[in-house]
Amino acid sequence: MQETTAQAPARAKIAVRGLTMAYGSFVVMRDLNFDVADKDIFVIMGGSGCGKSTLLRHLIGLQEPASGRVLFDGEDFTATPAAERARFIRRFGVMYQSGALWSSLTLAENIAMPLEEHTDLKAKAIRDLVSYKLALVGLSGYEDHYPAQISGGMNKRAGIARAMALDPDILFLDEPGAGLDPLSARRLDDLILRLRDGLGSTIVVVTHELASIFAIANQSVFLDSATRTQGATGNPADLRDHSDNPAVRLFLRRGGETAVPSNTTP
Amino acid sequence: MIPADVHPPRASWTRDRGRVVLELSGDWQRGAAEPEITGEPTGSAPDAYATAALGDYDSTLPAFLLARIREGNPDKPSLDGLPPDLHGLLELALAVPEEVEARGTPAEVSEIQKLGTVSIRTWSGVRSIVDFTGHSMMSLGRFFTGRAHFRSREFWLIVQQCGAQALPIVSLISFLIGLIMAFVGNVQLANFGASLYVADLVGIAMVREMGVVMTAIIVSGRTGAAFAAHLGSMKANQEIDALRTFGFNPFDFLVLPRMLALVLMMPLLTIYANLIGMLGGMLVGAAVNIPPALYWYETLTVVNLENAFLGVFKSVFFGIVIAMSGCLQGMHAGNSSAAVGQATTRAVVASITTIIILDSAFAVIFTLLDI
Ligand SMILES: Nc1ncnc2c1ncn2[C@@H]1O[C@H](COP(=O)(O)OP(=O)(O)OP(=O)(O)O)[C@@H](O)[C@H]1O
Ligand SMILES: [Mg+2]
């Protein structure tokens, strides 16, 4: 289990403190508190529509919290004015749930753009890096395709390649495995583990694929849509076996033995 | 056609030792008649069901039952007496309780509330325009101090789309405008034997007003709409978020090149439209026996550089207006394809309206300055 001390966890890569997220007056989740340690593969899990993508958008500063704070390496991100956030954001790599590749650019250009803008690499070196990143996600040869010319799953993988373009310190992936066949999903889990080990990145993954949760995650937070707050934090396998929150156990065991819940009106 | 052996659907409420029983019979199918409901409508959900006379059914029956259960809103709905497949389906439908908060708020709104909502919306609309203008100007500032950058390939692509590719439609419209003005003008002027002054009329009207206004309207419809649709769908697809998280300023990257492209192309298109309009006038002139050389000479006597400059001067502002309203509506579009359509409409309406208002303002200012 994770030792979540209440204050000043200077070690934590990302610290979320009392975070409440809302769209207008509609509160999505309240009072979230968790830490992501350096080189963790941290999974955000929870039922569909419970606010996982919303949480991710809060972590990367695309949405402002209703209350609470997000800290990176102990530095308060939410209190930093938007104009001075560049130094935080420079360290992020983000893959969005829809892929969000720039549709007017080819895959190669999509991955090359951050490299061209933020590094002094020569065109040849950039080309090699682009091919390498595409090869990592199994898309060699698709350099000159436009996002509209490849499938949804391929768009996601290309989105991951783009998120990795600058070898980010922290990688955020929103449902990377959704829409992939079992083999590609497996490859992706492999890739995530290798990225952590090879680059030393901290990786935050939104997912509800149980297989991949148990394969990659060492820490996790469960967002409980019934109570609108976090249900539990900790290692997923521990949570499955020992969590005192029945909703968490149910989720991690795929609702128990039967697929159809038997008269469990919460 | 309903076959003869189909029985009409019936539901009847009965009471059996204090329990409310809903008796179902007949065939419940999409093509069948409205179900006939008999017995006291108790308002509470049934405690049990009797289905001995129930025939065939499709989704209409579980839909009917779910609606009755929701009406009664019992703590623990009973599904006693339903055949196993219906039992299973309804159990699934009832497994997750209805999200009451997710439903729209009730339509009961007082007039004061409506007024408040409209004022708040208007105020936030004004604020977003001011905010957007501020950001665009800052972006322009960064450009002139050499700190903003965008992809030059994208810029030239936009220049091509809003400039060269607009030539055919600009040619057609301004040629016809010149032609119409000359035609109508000639009918009047011929009465005084002053047909030659058609050249003055067309020349002045084109370079001061018609050339630039018609070009601006065409470009609003063509390019402004394209900007809004493009940026709107980029927003819906989170591409703008992706720009932000890679440390690109969306204003520098998307708004600035579009604004610069229009500032560059609008004057050129306007000059082109002016010339084509005069050509249209010249054609009418030739038809009423004004030789083209004479027509051209007469045009040059009234259209001086100062006059010609006024239209071009205005076109720069119109270009900025078109680019800004297209980009503003696109970047503030909602996250759906319908929202992109609305954003496009708003962009075109806003830019045409602003252009006409701005043009009137210019007319007043120029008159006061006696230009
Ligand atoms: N722009 C918005 N305006 C208002 N409410 C929103 C908006 N976007 C999302 N929501 C609401 O916020 C809640 C969380 O949405 P979110 O997209 O974060 O869910 P999620 O956990 O990522 O779901 P999924 O697993 O299906 O991707 C949903 O109930 C949704 O109705
Ligand atoms: Mg999501």
Ligand 1 atom nearest residue A52's Cα: 21
Q: Where are the domains of chain B?
A: 10-102, 139-368
Least Cα distance to A51 among A63, A40, A39, A42 occurs for: A63
Of residues A160 and B107, more confidently modeled: A160
Distance from CA of A86 to the nearest CA of B (A): 6
Which chain B residue has the Cα nearest residue A86?
Answer: B247
Ligand index nearest the alpha carbon of residue A49: 1
Which chain B residue has the Cα nearest residue A82?
Answer: B244
Which chain A residue has the Cα nearest residue B154?
Answer: A104
State the average pLDDT over residues B218-242: 93
Residue where the block lists tokens 């390496």:
A73
Of residues A262 and B118, more confidently modeled: B118
- Check B95 against A62: CB less than 8 A apart: no
User: Is A103 at the interface with chain B, CB within 8 A?
Assistant: yes
Task: Note the pLDDT tens digit of each residue in A71-83.
Answer: 998 888 888 887 7
Task: Note the pLDDT tens digit of each residue in A196-227.
Answer: 888 888 999 998 888 889 999 999 999 988 88
- Check A103 against B239: CB less than 8 A apart: yes
Provide, as residue numbers in chain A, all residues whose Cβ is less than 8 Å from the Cβ of B244: 62, 89
pLDDT over 90 percentage in chain B: 50
The answer to whether A217 and A236 have CB atoms below 8 angstroms apart is yes
**Which residues form ligand 1's pocket by a CB distance below 6 Å?**
A 23, 26, 28, 48-54, 97
Does the pLDDT at position A235 exceed 70?
A: yes
Chain A residues 144-203 with a CB less than 8 Å from chain B: 162
Chain B residues 124-163 with a CB less than 8 Å from chain A: 149, 151, 154
Ligand 1 atom nearest residue B102's Cα: 31
Ligand 1 atom nearest residue A24's Cα: 4
Which chain B residue has the Cα nearest residue A160?
Answer: B242
Q: Does the model's ipTM exceed the 0.85 cut?
A: no
Task: Note the pLDDT tens digit of each residue in B158-167.
Answer: 999 999 999 9
**Residue A49 CA, ligand 2 centroid: distance in Å:** 7
Task: Note the pLDDT tens digit of each residue in B275-316.
Answer: 999 999 999 999 988 899 999 999 998 888 888 899 999 999
The answer to whether B225 and B347 have CB atoms below 8 angstroms apart is yes
Which residues in B86-124 are b (16+ Cβ under 10 Å) and which e?
A: beebbbeebeeeeeeeeeeeeeeeeeeeeeeeeeeeeee
Could you tell me the pTM of the whole model? 0.79
Least Cα distance to B222 among B169, B261, B279 occurs for: B169
User: How confident is residue B42, by pLDDT bands cut at 50, 70 and 90?
Assistant: low
**Residue A262 CA, ligand 1 centroid: distance in Å:** 27
Mutation test residue for ligand 1: of A25, A28, A57, A60, the one with most atoms within 8 Å of CB: A28
Q: Is A137 buried (19+), middle (13-18) or exposed (0-12) by CB count in 10 A?
A: buried
The answer to whether B51 and B10 have CB atoms below 8 angstroms apart is no
Task: Note the pLDDT tens digit of each residue in A34-87.
Answer: 999 998 999 999 888 889 999 999 999 889 999 999 999 888 888 888 778 888
The pLDDT value recorded for residue A265 is 41
Does the pLDDT at position B8 exceed 60?
A: yes
User: How confident is residue B103, by pLDDT bands cut at 50, 70 and 90?
Assistant: low
**Residue A188 CA, ligand 2 centroid: distance in Å:** 18
State the average pLDDT over residues A246-263: 67
Of residues B94 and B270, more confidently modeled: B270
Q: Where are the alpha helices (DSSP H) in chain B?
A: 60-72, 84-95, 111-144, 152-162, 167-189, 198-205, 211-219, 225-236, 239-245, 250, 256-287, 292-302, 305-331, 337-368
Chain A residues 217-246 with a CB less than 8 Å from chain B: none
Of residues B34 and A146, more confidently modeled: A146
**Residue A98 CA, ligand 1 centroid: distance in Å:** 14
Residue nearest to atom 16 of ligand 1 (CA): A51
